[in-house]
A and B are shown apart, each in its own frame.
Chain A
Amino acid sequence: MAEKEGKKVLMMQGNEACAEAAIWAGCRFFAGYPITPSSEIAEYLSRKLPTVGGKFIQMEDEIGSIAAVIGASLTGTKSMTATSGPGFSLKQENIGYAAMAEVPCVIVDVQRGGPSTGTPTLPAQMDVQQARWGTHGDHAIIALTASSAQETFEQTIRAFNLSERYMVPVILLIDEIVGHTTEKVVLPEEGSVEIVNRKQPDVPPEEYLPYAETEDLIPVLARFGSGYRYNVTGLCHDETGFPTNDSETIQKLIVRLSEKIERHKDEIIDYELIDMDDAEVAIFAYGSVARSAKRAVRDCREMGLKVGLMITKVLWPFPYEAVLSVAEKVKAIVVPEMNLGQMAREVELGARCKAEIFRINRVDGNPVTPQEIVDRVREVI
């Protein structure tokens, strides 16, 4: 371990950085099931959690893992699970439960190629739409992404904070490249990390309503065992938490579940603009592909091509407005992805025909190279 200006510098896999960051974020419960390429997260936490008084359990399946995570979270314990595509599919049932009951938790998906078991050891970005709409029914979700071990560390902490703040499941989507690349991670100074903890009731138990209308639309769920007895269900419920069939109450609940994220999207959305001032063509990228895109921009600039880059670190809620302002400046946006254009569709929606969208789609288990991006830019510029 080296030191840099008083900070600890480690060599870590993205998966290890994720697990370590979870501890920093206050995660004290992990339930998971072995699956490539995410298993290092579980392995790391099985070692580390009991040393900090936390609990690790390898459950009998993926569904049980997310179920245990939600149960643990209801006691006020920050909880996480990690998986890859096939497991992510299985977890959708209870991701929906967490969205409906508004139980904070973090789900990490180290993406491989799909569909089905697909390519267990190769990278892909094929789960980005599943993260948004994988579970049935209208609901809100937050999904973050990261392009390096360092960013994975930071985004894992942010995932917990957003989850606690908005009482919503937060999905962190990395991919096999990020998960398995060992690289430098600079740990923050002790005590310098912002940690958000969910609110607790400030009324006496007899006045407490778990799903009472709040100004910011976010419910205050008491920790089980704290003296506030209430009911949690996946059925449509009223402010008491008990099931209801009342049309007006159902309408209000389902709208609020989406609205609580929509209303706060400016606090959640996070992106980076590089060399956009004079750009004629923009690249839109996320995850490990953003690294190739950064290199491509540099190469293009060296060739005298006016190319800029938008990297989004939050996939959901999607930064439609930011994409529009990029589209208004350039004539074309190139969207390289390790899928068949899942986010390019959102970029098209955001761009509102102000710029033409060109795709680069790699689904053969190989990363998108900087050269591929440069070639595409030269075609369209």
Chain B
Amino acid sequence: MFDYLEYIRKRNFPHIWCSGCGDGIVLKTLIRAMKKLNISKDEAVMVSGIGCSSRTPGYIDINTLHTTHGRAIAFATGVKLANPSLKVIVVTGDGDATAIGGNHYIHAARRNIDMTVLLYNNYIYGMTGGQVSPTTPKGDKASTAPYGSLEQPFNISGLASAAGASFVARGDVYHVQQLEKLIVKALEKKGFSLVEILSPCPTAYGRRNRMAHPVDLMKWLRDNAIPKSRFDKLSEEEKKGKVPTGVLIDIEKPEFISEYEKLIETLKGK
């Protein structure tokens, strides 16, 4: 049996997440990935913003920084730049990272600063009670979109890719083994790495959108979150409603802090 307790802050349990929430699944998966890579607890820093996913740091026994809404990546930029030997993991949500924190998100990707961002996409503002988010699918209902959302949703992974991230992947809380592999790869990558994690909120999203039971959401992930290789072979008609998962971008490009440290070296003695 895998011993999760090594990485857990037992004193803070039970956790605050609702029954059927995927966030606990991500926590366990992350711990397994960290263990696999033997990441030192003392040298790892988890930075989060505001929202359900951003409560993850309370449960994991590393250096943890729970910040203001949307700003996790900006705080993390300071941590990593000031002490590059630290392993920096950002935990954030769709509202946190792509609405109020959208600017920090795209610019960290552009800089290709070495950090891993785990972005839990639950399609809604869960903690505040189910308001429409930048990823709520068009037509789906939210407490502030009672007639269905009129807006186009963001493609979170596409946004990071376009902004310049060197590693972008999408996983989900049903396909947990795949998710673990993706998080491992992201943590290994030197550069800005993003894992978008589909973790639909049963309480605030599912109940309003014909998936009242958490199992309905799991079935939806099972049937619609499909590997990119399979997705790419589908016809345009078949692609509708499906979400490609797996590694979407994995490229080598200069990493910001390495470039900065090279600059410091060249300026020495001048």
Distance of A333 from chain B, by nearest CB (Å): 40
B78, A71: Cβ atoms closer than 8 Å: yes
Inside 8 A of A97's CB, which chain B residues have their CB? 67-68
Contact A75 B74 (CB under 8 A): no
- Main secondary structure, interface of A, reads mixed
Which residue from B77, B260, B263 sits with its C-beta under 8 Å from A71?
Answer: B77
Q: In the complex the two chains form, is B58's CB within 8 Å of A231's CB? A: yes
Q: Which of B63, B66, B75 lies in contact with A229, CB distance below 8 A?
A: B63
> Do A50 and B263 touch (CB < 8 A)?
yes
Interface size class of A (residues with CB under 8 A): 35 or more
CB distance from B261 to the nearest CB of A (A): 9
Also in contact, A75 and B83, with CB within 8 A (given A57-B77, A59-B74, A61-B103): yes
B66 touches A233 (CB 8 A): yes
**Shortest Cβ distance from A31 into B: residue:** B78
**B104 near A64: Cβ-Cβ < 8 Å:** yes
Chain B residues contacting A55 (CB-CB under 8 Å) are 81-82, 260
User: How distant is B115 from chain A, measured CB to nearest CB, in Å?
Assistant: 11
Cβ of B42 under 8 Å from chain A: yes
A356 at the A/B interface (Cβ < 8 Å)? no
> Could you tell me the distance between the alpha carbons of A75 and B11 in the complex, rounded to whole angstroms?
25
Contact B103 A60 (CB under 8 A): yes
- Count the B residues whose beta carbon is within 8 Å of the partner chain — how many? 39
**How far in angstroms is the closest Cβ of chain B from A370?**
44
**A63/B71 in contact, CB under 8 A:** yes
Q: Are B75 and A67 in contact (CB under 8 A)?
A: yes
User: Quick check: is A112 within 8 A (CB to CB) of the other chain?
Assistant: no
Q: Is the Cβ of B42 less than 8 Å from the Cβ of A225?
A: yes
Closest Cβ neighbor of B64 among chain A residues: A231
The proximity string for A residues 58-76 relative to B, scoring 1 for CB distances below 8 Å and 0 otherwise, is 0111011101111111111
Q: Known: A60-B103, A67-B67. Is A225-B83 also a contact (CB below 8 A)?
A: yes
Chain A residue with minimal CB distance to B270?
Answer: A51
* 8 Å CB interface, A32-53 against B: 50-51, 53
B47-77 vs A, CB cutoff 8 Å, 1 = contact: the mask equals 1000000000110011111111001001111
Q: Establish whether residues B74 and A71, one from each chain, have CB atoms under 8 Å apart when the complex forms.
A: yes
The residues of A that contact B41 with a CB separation of less than 8 Å are 229
The verdict on A57 contacting B103 (CB below 8 Å), with A71-B65, A74-B65, A232-B64 known, is: no
Roughly how many angstroms separate A70 CA and B81 CA in the complex, as a whole number? 12
In chain B, residues 230-267, which have Cβ atoms closer than 8 Å to a Cβ of chain A? 260, 263-264, 267
The answer to whether B82 touches A64 (Cβ under 8 A) is no
A318 at the interface (CB under 8 A from B): no
The interface residues of chain A lying within 8 Å CB-to-CB of B106 are 60
Q: Tell me whether A270 is interfacial, beta carbon within 8 Å.
A: no
> Which residues of B are found within 8 Å of A51, using beta-carbon distances?
267, 270
Q: Closest B residue to A53 by CB, please name it.
A: B264
Q: Does A77 contact B (CB under 8 A)?
A: yes
When distances are taken between beta carbons in the complex, the residues of chain A under 8 Å from B11 are 242
Query: Is B85 interfacial (CB-CB < 8 Å)?
Result: yes
In the complex, A50 Cα to B264 Cα: how many Å?
5
Contacts of B85 in A (CB 8 A): 225
Decide: A225 near B74, CB < 8 A? Known: A68-B81, A94-B68.
no
Q: Given B42, B79, B104, B264, which contacts A75 in the complex, CB threshold below 8 Å?
A: B79
Option from B61, B64, B267 in Cβ contact (under 8 Å) with A50: B267
Contact at A242–B65, with CB atoms within 8 Å? no
Distance between Cα atoms of A69 and B76 in the complex (Å)? 10
Please, could you name 29 A-B residue pairs with CB atoms under 8 Å apart, sorted by A?
A29-B81, A29-B82, A50-B263, A50-B264, A53-B264, A59-B77, A63-B71, A64-B104, A67-B78, A68-B74, A68-B77, A68-B78, A71-B65, A71-B78, A71-B82, A72-B78, A72-B79, A72-B82, A74-B65, A75-B79, A77-B82, A77-B83, A97-B67, A224-B83, A229-B41, A229-B61, A230-B63, A232-B66, A242-B12
Report B's interface with A, CB cutoff 8 A: 11-12, 41-43, 45, 47, 57-58, 61-68, 71, 74-83, 85-86, 103-104, 106-107, 260, 263-264, 267, 270
Closest 10 CB pairs of A and B: A71-B78, A68-B78, A67-B74, A72-B82, A72-B78, A64-B74, A71-B75, A60-B107, A75-B83, A233-B66
| Known A67-B75, A68-B74, A71-B78; 12 more pairs at CB < 8 Å | A57-B77, A59-B107, A64-B74, A64-B107, A67-B78, A93-B68, A97-B67, A225-B83, A225-B85, A226-B42, A229-B42, A231-B65
